[in-house]
Amino acid sequence: MKIIYIHQYFHTPEMGGSTRSFEIAKRLVEKGHEVNLITTLQNIKNSNNKKKWTMTNESGINVYWFPVEYSNKLNFYLRVIAFFKFAFHSFKKGLSLRGDLIYATSTPLTVIIPGFLLSFLKNKPLVLEVRDLWPTLPIAIGALKSPINIFLTKLLEKFAYKFSKKIIALSPGIKQGIIDQGISDEKVIVIPNSCDIENFTIKNHSIEKIKFRKKHNIPEKNLLITYAGTFGKINNIFYMVYLAMKLKNNPLISFLAVGDGVDFEKVKRLVNEKKIQKNFKIIKTLPKKNMPQVLSASDISLSIFLPLKEMESNSANKFFDGLASGNMILINYGGWQEDILLSNNSGMRLPQNIDDAAEIVSQLEKNRSKVVEFGTNAKRLAFKEFDRGKLTDKLEKIIIDVAQHD
């Protein structure tokens, strides 16, 4: 089967960021399918040609890159321009490609525009993957305020759901949010973010742990809590900084934040101002292929957000990378991930109150055997529920069924 795969923020393991589309597409290629993936080259400053497509082959995936500058440091309107620019150019590129099925993954939800047009003109089915409920989240954090903009984006959301043959939701909460828009239960299938267990299983774990900690001046004996992800407003990295401030007098607890984003420099300044550089290390975004080493050197993986009910349906990569690494997981929100952690003794939820959260972390440092036990359970959970290979098998069956019965 030939698949036209549209994803504005595609990353390979050589790049920083989520590699869900890469890992899925790679496995589909291994199963004998042809995948033509349309995406953007986001850092156009390093591009030799800022107006033309380039094509590369990434583990058998035909990837078509068009230069469209984007980062979460851009203001709202520059982001919108980037969304529509990609929608226009991806549609044009898609017209030149052969495909039996169109697979479009959001966010942004504007991928529905090229997805729908290509589906209509080629008379091929469209499968939409929804990674976050949009525009629910932009509205919740105040990025979308204009009544007209809210009306138009909600209209686009309804259009996207209606004209997709199947919808892949990345969490039960996202599925429910789609159903609440009047979409039938049968049309929406949950395939969450997944664990790349082979990638995150490190040989010579102890040696690699020592090497990494020595390189970054993190004591080998310390309990290391790591956040690896975006430094965006919704991610609320300041929660982690305040936690480190509260625990700065405990020499046996270290924090590590790896990533980039609009709040990166603010976080860095706050760490310096509060003089907690000794127990709070910051590293700029690393290629995804380097993350297994980072997490193998860690004891606990941290996934945090602003206290918004709408964020409880998230399916953050950092959560699943932590499971795959065999780290205990700490989150500061409720929802389906809290339920999974509690029912599998793989982690726990931290309260929003920093004093209470610091007390929990302090107790975990004193009870290292519990941290190890929960990490072992996390790895087991990764195998049992979230193995990328098994979930890609499930996705393959869905898209084959859609293509055959269209």
Q: How confident is the model at residue 93 (pLDDT cuts 50, 70, 90)?
A: very high
**Residue 30 near residue 22 (C-beta atoms within 8 A):** no
Query: Closest Cα partner for 223 from 119, 365, 336?
Result: 365
Question: Which pLDDT score is estimated for 47?
Answer: 54
Residue with tokens 């959970």: 381
Q: Model confidence over 173-226: pLDDT tens digits?
A: 999 999 999 999 999 999 999 999 999 998 888 899 999 999 999 999 999 999
Give the Cα separation of 104 and 114 in Å (integer): 9
Q: What angle do CA 64, 91, 229 make, to 5 degrees?
A: 55
309 contact partners, CB below 8 Å, separation of at least 6: 140
Question: Which pLDDT score is estimated for 142?
Answer: 85
Q: How many residues are recorded in the chain?
A: 406
Question: Which pLDDT score is estimated for 45?
Answer: 61
DSSP 17: S
Q: What is the arithmetic mean of pLDDT over 327-338?
A: 97
Q: How confident is the model at residue 69 (pLDDT cuts 50, 70, 90)?
A: confident
- Cis peptide leading into 135, omega within 30 of 0? yes
> What residue spans of 52-196 are helical by DSSP H?
76-95, 112-122, 136-140, 147-162, 172-179
Give the Cα separation of 350 and 272 in Å (integer): 25
Question: Which pLDDT score is estimated for 49?
Answer: 61
Same fold across 2-194+387-404 and 205-385: yes
CATH for the 205-385 domain, from 3.40.50.2000, 3.30.565.10, 3.40.50.620, 3.40.920.10: 3.40.50.2000
Q: Model confidence over 229-284: pLDDT tens digits?
A: 999 999 999 999 999 999 999 999 999 999 999 999 999 999 999 999 999 999 99
3-state secondary structure of 85: helix
CATH for the 2-194+387-404 domain, from 3.40.50.1970, 3.40.50.620, 3.30.70.940, 3.40.50.2000: 3.40.50.2000
Q: How confident is the model at residue 314 (pLDDT cuts 50, 70, 90)?
A: very high
The CA distances from residue 300 to 196, 227, 306, in Å, are 18, 9, 20
**Domain limits of the chain?**
2-194+387-404, 205-385
Phi first, then psi, for residue 183 (nearest 5°) are -95, 140
pTM for this one?
A: 0.94
Radius of gyration of the chain (CA): 21
Question: Which pLDDT score is estimated for 212?
Answer: 96
Question: Which pLDDT score is estimated for 46?
Answer: 54
Minimum mean pLDDT among 53-57, 62-66, 79-83, 245-249: which range? 79-83
